[in-house]
Structure formats: structure tokens, C-alpha cells
Amino acid sequence: MNLAVVGTGYVGLVAGTCFAESGNDVTCVDIDERKISMLKKGTVPIYEPGLEEMVRRNAAEQRLSFTTDLDGAVKKSSVIFIAVGTPQGPNGDANLDHVRATAMGIAKAMDSFRIIVTKSTVPVGTADRIRQWITEETSHPFAVISNPEFLKEGAAVEDFMKPDRVVLGGDNSEALEAVKELYEPFVRTGNPILVMDSRSAEMSKYAANAMLATKISFINEISRLCETKGADVGEVRRAIALDRRIGPHFIFPGVGYGGSCFPKDIRAMISMGGDEAEMVLLKAVEQVNQRQKGILVEKVNRHFGADLSGLTFAVWGLAFKPRTDDMRDAPSITVIEALLEAGAKVHAFDPEATNEAKKIFGERIQYASRNYEALPGAAALLVLTEWNEFRRPDFLRIKQLLKQPVIFDGRELYVPLDIRKLGFQYY
Ligand code: NAD
């Protein structure tokens, strides 16, 4: 089938490439000319494990192409996916400007029936709005399907190729059947394709992210109580994770959630609920997260005092999570800004996110090209992202390189007792 995917970011590029991998002819469209020209040369502008090799292979086999020409892509495609960004608007709501511009562009280019599939995370009711926008522009028939995306950055290709479930919302059975067929190759092991109305599909995505963010804020709240009462949250986590009703996932305490989805999606839900269905729990989830992002610096201040001038801090991990270069709303930004504000210097290392970090901090911090390189002369080490390579470092080397053996572990990577035995002050 000929497909177009509009928006060639973390979601669109992965979706387009995976659809090409299963034999479709896919045109990826973006307004960002720089991105498209890189992709035409086989360079993937983001870091996502396994993606670049797949992009190159499918492009070489001429099933995957890149363009800024939406009109041409719509004319040759029967199904068009919308995967553009839906950033946070001024009141916390999701900004639909890119979705609207794309829908209007598709409507203008259509010359017969088209299936338009929304992959972007959009507020409940957006499918109806898209229908209306398109109807205002064209008299050609069309169907709108809501198909929220559940992939995780860092494992996006794997998630797309083996989804836990696929959710499709809409009421045009022919169109639903056509999109279902596109997903059949990815659900051969029996994971379901759930078909529902578009509002429920749109809500499913927000509800999933809300649940995950709630789990993170929940364990962070417990960790705070553990600290005041002298309990070890690591032990507590292990104890509750073995309860099958709770499970081990997403209950690691840390410096809070970040990234391109949770923060904006939680705020969009709070805005969606308004006064009519006030999102009391999600407001608390957000509040706990905001507080949590400041917690490590509070500990730094308690150890070193409020004025950090003259001190350098080594930071391991800048990306909002491992296996991505994404820095959007990363907790590291809050932590580093607070350190700089208190007069400290920062020497940071991240395996993939340095270029993205440079766009945020510029020359205000120093960047190391290896993790141990960030340590010499630093007063302490702060670990902010749980990259695998930080899990079992050479602690004796860390001790030799740091001015004082102090570690602020923002991701519960190390066992307090073990690390204290090595002579570290461990927070
Ligand atoms: P992104 O910022 O990485 O990519 C969006 C792309 O859309 C950009 O390349 C941008 O240039 C392009 N774009 C914007 N307006 C356009 C237009 N009018 N025409 C063509 N291209 C246009 O965003 P993303 O992380 O891929 O997220 C896309 C959507 O998917 C968002 O709604 C997000 O909430 C949702 N989502 C993201 C993830 C994730 O992990 N990143 C997971 C699930 C869902």
C-alpha cells in the first residue's frame, strides 16, 4: 500500500520506517528541510537504537522516501498518518496548530477518497475537529481514524514492531479494516488490535501516560516518607514489586519524570478536565514531580551549603531517560540550572544527548566525552539518567578522581550499604 506519514520525528520516522519494513511504499513528510535533507542522505537526525540501519535499508530498497512536498505525498498515498508534534499550549492544553495545518494541507491535496490516521497524541474530540477542518476544505470523501501511539523512546522500533496492543478508533468499517491490515504483520503473536470509537481511542493514550506518571510520583512520594522515617525505599520497592497486583515496572524512585510526553500530556489532561471533571489526582502527580526535580539539589545544598560558588559538580546523564538523545523537559535541566544558579560549575557527560544539551546550556557547562572525564576536581558526582554504563562503574576510580567521595544518585542505581562501605557519602 502507498502510505504517507506527516511529521518525521520520534513517532513519524519510526512508524514510517516500520511500515516500509513490512513492505509498504512510504513517503515521510516534514516541514523541516534540514531534517529531510539529512534523511535523504541516510542520516537519522535523532538517536533511536536500530533505526538508522532500518532507514537506510528501506530507502535503498526504494520503499522509503523523504520529502517536504505534502501535496505530492497525499496525491500518491491512500492512507495518510498525522504524526506531527502536539506541544503544550499556553494554558497547559495541547496545541493543535501543527495537526490543523496538516489536516488542511491534506484536504487541499486530496483528489479522491483518503484515510487519515491520527497518531499524534491529541485531546479527546480532536478526530471530530479534524473531520470538520477537512470538510471545510474539500468535497472529496474521507475517513478519520484515531490510532494513538504507545511506543517508548529508546525502544521505539521494538515497540512498534511488537506492540502490546494497537488501538484504532473510528466508525468507518472499511477504513478501519484497511488500517488493521497495515498492523497485521506486527501482531502475529496474538497481541490484539482493539477497535473502538475515536474518543475512547484518544482517551486511551492519555490514560496510559497518566497511569505511568502516577506510578512514578507515587513511589517518589513513598521515598520522601521513607527518608523522614529512616526506611530504605529500595527495599520497600522490592517488597511491593513482588505483589502481582502492583508489579515491578515504573516504580523506581528518582529525580522525577520528564521527556516529550508525560509532562505535557498530564498538563493537557488537567486542562481537558477543567472544572467539570477536575483532575485532582493528576494535579497532585504533577506537583509531586515538580518537587521531586528539586530534591537532589536540596540534598546538595544540605551537604555543601546554599552557596556553591567555587565548586564543580560532575553530572552523569542528561537525556530524560536512557537510550535516547531527547532532552525535552529532562529533569537534568532543572537540576543543572539550580546548580548554576547557586554559583556552581558543571562538568557533564551523556552517551548520546550532548548535542541536544548544547542547544540548552551552550557554553554555560562543560561537556566530557567519557564518563570518568567529568570527575577530576569535582566536589561530587550526580547521576541523573540510568544509562547501563553507569550501573557498575569503577568506584575506586571515581573515589580517586573526585575531590571528595560524594555521590548523589538520582536514579537509585547503587545499593546504599555497599557504596557507603567503599567510603562514599551517598545520597
Ligand atoms: P517530534 O517533535 O520529534 O516530531 C514532530 C515532527 O513534526 C517534527 O519533525 C516537525 O518538524 C514536524 N512537523 C510539525 N509541523 C508539521 C507540518 N505542518 N507538516 C509536516 N511536518 C510537521 O515529535 P514526536 O516525539 O515524534 O511526537 C509526535 C506526536 O506523537 C506528539 O503528539 C507526541 O505527543 C506523540 N507521541 C510521542 C511519543 C514519543 O515517545 N516521542 C510517543 C507516543 C506519542
Q: Whose CA is nearest to atom 14 of ligand 1?
A: 84
At residue 12, the pLDDT reads 98
pLDDT, one tens digit per residue, over 65-79 is: 999 999 999 999 999
Asked whether 171 and 196 are in contact (CB, 8 A), the reply is no
What is the distance in A from the centroid of ligand 1 to the CA of 5? 11
Map residue 242 onto helix, strand or coil: coil
Q: Which of 6, 10, 27, 150 to mutate to test the pocket of ligand 1 (most atoms within 8 A of CB)?
A: 10
Asked whether 220 and 235 are in contact (CB, 8 A), the reply is no
Map residue 170 onto helix, strand or coil: coil
- Kindly report the pTM of this predicted structure: 0.95
Number of Cβ within 10 Å of residue 177's Cβ equals 11
User: What value does the mean pLDDT take over residues 194-200?
Assistant: 98
What is the distance in A from the centroid of ligand 1 to the CA of 105? 16
At residue 273, the pLDDT reads 97
At residue 308, the pLDDT reads 98
Instruction: Confirm whether 226 is a catalytic residue.
Output: no
- Bridge-partner residues for 25, per DSSP? 2
Q: Whose CA is nearest to atom 20 of ligand 1?
A: 30
Mean pLDDT of the chain: 97
Query: Which residue, 117, 106, 39, is CA-closest to 76?
Result: 106
Q: Ligand 1: which residues within 6 Å by Cβ? A: 6-12, 29-32, 35, 83-86, 98, 101-102, 120-121, 149, 151, 153, 260-261
Question: What is d(CA 256, CA 332) in angstroms, rounded to the nearest whole number?
Answer: 10
- Residues sharing a CB contact under 8 Å with residue 361, sequence separation 6 or more, in sequence order: 336, 346
What is the distance in A from the centroid of ligand 1 to the CA of 119? 9
Q: Of ligand 1's atoms, which has the minimum distance to the CA of residue 156?
A: 40
At residue 266, the pLDDT reads 98
At residue 41, the pLDDT reads 96
Query: Which residue, 112, 292, 123, 303, is CA-closest to 205?
Result: 123
Q: Of ligand 1's atoms, which has the minimum distance to the CA of residue 10?
A: 26
Q: Please, which pLDDT band fits residue 16 given cuts at 50, 70 and 90?
A: very high
Q: What are phi and psi for residue 411, nearest 5 degrees?
A: -135, 15
For the chain, percent of residues with pLDDT exceeding 70: 100
Strand pairing report for 345-349 and 166-169? unpaired
User: What value does the mean pLDDT take over residues 214-224?
Assistant: 98
At residue 279, the pLDDT reads 98
User: What value does the mean pLDDT take over residues 289-312?
Assistant: 97
Query: Which residue, 210, 29, 201, 208, is CA-closest to 126?
Result: 201
What is the distance in A from the centroid of ligand 1 to the CA of 345? 34
At residue 61, the pLDDT reads 98
What is the distance in A from the centroid of ligand 1 to the CA of 118? 11
At residue 45, the pLDDT reads 95
Q: Please, which pLDDT band fits residue 196 given cuts at 50, 70 and 90?
A: very high
Q: Whose CA is nearest to atom 30 of ligand 1?
A: 120
pLDDT, one tens digit per residue, over 301-326 is: 999 999 999 999 999 999 999 999 99
Q: Which of 48, 117, 130, 149 to mutate to test the pocket of ligand 1 (most atoms within 8 A of CB)?
A: 149
At residue 313, the pLDDT reads 98
User: What value does the mean pLDDT take over residues 148-157?
Assistant: 97
pLDDT, one tens digit per residue, over 345-361 is: 999 999 999 999 999 99
Q: Of ligand 1's atoms, which has the minimum distance to the CA of residue 122?
A: 32
What is the distance in A from the centroid of ligand 1 to the CA of 260? 9
- Residues sharing a CB contact under 8 Å with residue 216, sequence separation 6 or more, in sequence order: 250, 251, 252, 254, 256, 257, 262, 289
Q: Please, which pLDDT band fits residue 387 given cuts at 50, 70 and 90?
A: very high
pLDDT, one tens digit per residue, over 81-130 is: 999 999 999 999 999 999 999 999 999 999 999 999 999 999 999 999 99
Q: Of ligand 1's atoms, which has the minimum distance to the CA of residue 148?
A: 44
**What strands lie across the sheet with 193-196, from one edge to the other?**
64-67, 25-29, 2-6, 79-82, 114-118, 142-146, 166-169, 193-196
| C-alpha cell belonging to residue 199 | 474518543
At residue 258, the pLDDT reads 96
